Structure 1
């Protein structure tokens, strides 16, 4: 067991109040700082809790903060004998502070922690990174992300960088992407090597990602931005506001709107019924496009500035 306060940098560990389980002394002050690999989170579980109970835990207490210093956001302050629920950090650091100011003798507390990667991501845009990116990822990692954006939208995924151990069948280190929220959802791709995968679009508002590394070769990993996309149907004779195509082209294209959003459009395979005029896209106006049949168009909204990493 670690003594009264310490810096904990292993991927898992445990610590306890001084004297546990035989009781702690009055007027103690201990601070533990937990730091794991960037890109990972910390899950903290209390296995025993027996501190003097007071209103708002004013006297003896253990306090958890979501960061590496005293003024980081408070996750909770605990006393008494009820075990707190598991605590998960938002990034790779936690601050734990223990204070005692009474002469009441209790057993104290004990806790265990573990570094975790992946998790459920419920927001409309952000960035997913392999653990320790842009430095080499650690061996023997399995990270699963479940991305959910707003209802009636789709998830767009675009890779900023990609460097995973190369293998013909991606048998060792790889990133797997599935169209849904589970490992049984349809496979969109299994990727490794040094070439960035093409942009990916889900068919619903959920996307499932799994990163695996074995025990040998480690590389820089990947960084990918995700964002919500909108699917809608264009009526004959009208492509729709904010949509554009180039003369003589069919398939996909990219344009930037006056509002600063990048707008990508695509006509799905087998249903290409778009005619384009002669004028290219200008900053102030759109190309001349006429839809001669009902088609399905996917429009993705990408923030002009990169989102923060998760």
Structure 2
């Protein structure tokens, strides 16, 4: 809470302290119960308190350069409004707030507290040592009380608990794809996570018969949950968190009333979470999701901003609040990810020095997409120490790169596979900070000077984007040449040598510009091939249209160095011998190392045989293994025409046979489909819709 201070005497004062040190000292304090603290950023002074403004004994007052912090034990629990756990409780704690109740549960010493029921009207707290999984009866609907379940590691941490209820059954349609009996709740969650026969998105668990009902549908696919379940079944519904929904705290059946800034229709909950994270027009801090029509409502406020969340009964509208980004730096090695300034989506703190090291696989580069970037007012020099600054540095192939990011900062593409970002803040002028997504990908334009490297189309082995215009320059030292070997080629086009600029195409040039000699042109599914430059530079260009995208290409390259060696004359390269002692020493051959010899331009090569020049009397060639320097007569080509005609007839016969076979298979398949279409009745009551997933962004290929 910026520029606020608690109106009471502190229990302890720390001089020359940072915010992190102050928070850690409060947690580790043993002489008194540290409930909150103030941080004076101007004088770097920490004030620890044994009370909080929630107790009613003190209040918050305005104070420049001072920020107030309180404990957030409530965030260690998942809240399920108007539900209670259906077991007896270990302890009742009257007249406490939700935060105090959560704190008592965390610090309970006589038993292991795993959750609690809380009555807001009477401020009663009921602690229990049982969880939903170990209770044997789950939770039940109870108006006027909320159940708080301790967040623990395990399979259930990957699911959102929507309380009592189940997926609605539709006549003639299979909702559950697998049902198993005799399982625990945790085992059911684990089976859903590891399911391979179908994509398990949710499950219903019945505590009465220990049955696990797994489905590829979520409640939004089926127009909401069914709450009219017989009480004896004791069924609870769980839905798997997507990778974006995992950034949020769920609070089912509640909303932020009337404070929505943007609306999306017919999207999934995970897509709604993604829209909130990628929202650029404002800082999105939470969203409400209406299950029945798949409506996503983004908001810049949270429940604490408006005073409280509003309960919606069983109208199936759910609230999700963004978790704060807490890490002050770290090492990130995944190919895709996200991070933000500490305390995002709120303002960052004073006197920070955070460093993030982002590393992706070799031969790839990193694209940083800044969703928001605001480091407050600054002088004309962005690297001035009086400014809060984000320093970006890396070791590029052409030398070190280091600069301070300036506003507006929208994106940055690295020159290497390792980048360091350092956030340094002063003791004043806090700002929202930044939020960034990053992804490692094959570069579209690059100068490659390292031997034994790789290049590929962007997103390979996934589909490349449309309208690409990429250039790779492979530059070896002056005494070397470049050999490029394609290992995969999959482009839009006809291929087989019929490549044109009307399709997606790859061009290889023997030089450093398209004005150089064209060595090759690839498209479609051309067979893999290799190219070698005559000098030390090879240029690869790829252009694509906006129509069809495929997986692209992958290739490796090496530098081949020339070497000068002394050899015997060409006539002595092969020395026949009929008197050698062993068969293995019959021939003695000397050769050049890494030397490429071009064929003579005055010799015609046809079918791999050499023919004499016109007017020449040379009709026989030396045979390296002949007796007494025996000779080998040139090939007799008198039957070449007959062989060609026989080959053509054979190929036509194979093509006609293949066409007839395909026609026969098509007729058989048509008859089978007509047969089963008459036998199987039409299915009705299918799920009401599939999500449109509109407004996709560049992160759609995160795998």
Matches within 5 A, 1:58-207: 60-64=388-392, 76=402, 78=404, 88-91=414-417, 96-100=421-425, 102-105=426-429, 117-167=444-494, 168-170=498-500, 171-207=502-538
SS in 2 for 1:159: strand
Tell me if structure 1 keeps the 8 A contact 2:350–2:430. no
**Partner SS for 1:196:** coil
Shift of 1:197: 4.6
Q: SS of the residue aligned with 1:144?
A: strand
Q: Distance in 2 between matches of 1:151 and 1:111?
A: 45
Task: Say if 1:237 and 1:145 are closer, same or farther in 2 by CA, change over 3 A.
Answer: same
Distance 2:624 2:533 in 1: 30
Instruction: Give secondary structure in 2 for the equivalent of 1:124.
Output: coil
Does the CA-based 8 Å contact 1:52-1:106 persist in structure 2? no
Q: Does the CA-based 8 Å contact 2:446-2:473 persist in structure 1?
A: yes
**What is the TM-score with the length of structure 2 in the denominator?**
0.27
In 2, the alpha carbon distance for the partners of 1:276 and 1:234 equals 27
Q: CA deviation at 1:33?
A: 9.8
Q: Which residue of 2 aligns with 1:214?
A: 545
Corresponding position of 2:350: 26
**CA-CA distance at 1:164 after TM superposition:** 1.1
| TM-score, normalising length: structure 1 | 0.55
Whether the aligned pair in 2 keeps the contact of 1:53 and 1:80 (CA below 8 Å) is no
Structure 1 98/221 Cα, relative in aligned 2: closer, same or farther at 3 Å? same
Contact 1:31 1:97 in 2 (8 A): yes
Paired with 2:622 and 2:472, the residues of 1 have a C-alpha distance of 40
Please show how residues 258-273 of structure 1 align to structure 2 within 5 Å: 265-270=596-601
Deviation of 1:32 (Å): 8.7
Structure 1: gaps spanning 5 or more residues: 8-14, 68-73, 248-261, 279-310
Greater gyration radius: 2
CA contact (8 A) 1:26 1:103 kept: yes
* C-alpha distance after superposition, 1:259-282 (max 9, x if no partner): xxx96855434288998845xxxx
Cα deviation for residue 127 of structure 1 reads 1.1
* 1:211 aligned counterpart, secondary structure: strand
In 2, the alpha carbon distance for the partners of 1:275 and 1:223 equals 43
2:114 match: none
Q: How does 1:262-301 map to 2 (within 5 A)?
A: 265-270=596-601, 277-278=624-625
| 1:232 to 1:97, Cα distance in 2 relative to 1, 3 A | closer
Q: Deviations over 1:120-174 (max 9, x none)?
A: 1112331111111112211111110111001121111111111111234332201
| Larger helix percent | 2
| Partner SS for 1:132 | coil
Distance 2:374 2:471 in 1: 26
Q: Count residues in correspondence.
A: 238
In structure 2, the gaps of 5 or more residues are 1-279, 284-323, 333-339, 577-592, 604-609, 611-620, 626-703
> How has the CA–CA distance of structure 1 residues 195 and 264 changed in structure 2, closer, same or farther, with 3 Å as cutoff?
farther
- Report which structure shows greater RCO (CA 8 Å, sep ≥6): 1
Residue 265 to residue 182, structure 1, CA distance change in 2 (3 Å): closer
Task: Work out whether residues 17 and 108 of structure 1, in 8 Å CA contact, stay in contact via their aligned partners in 2.
Answer: no
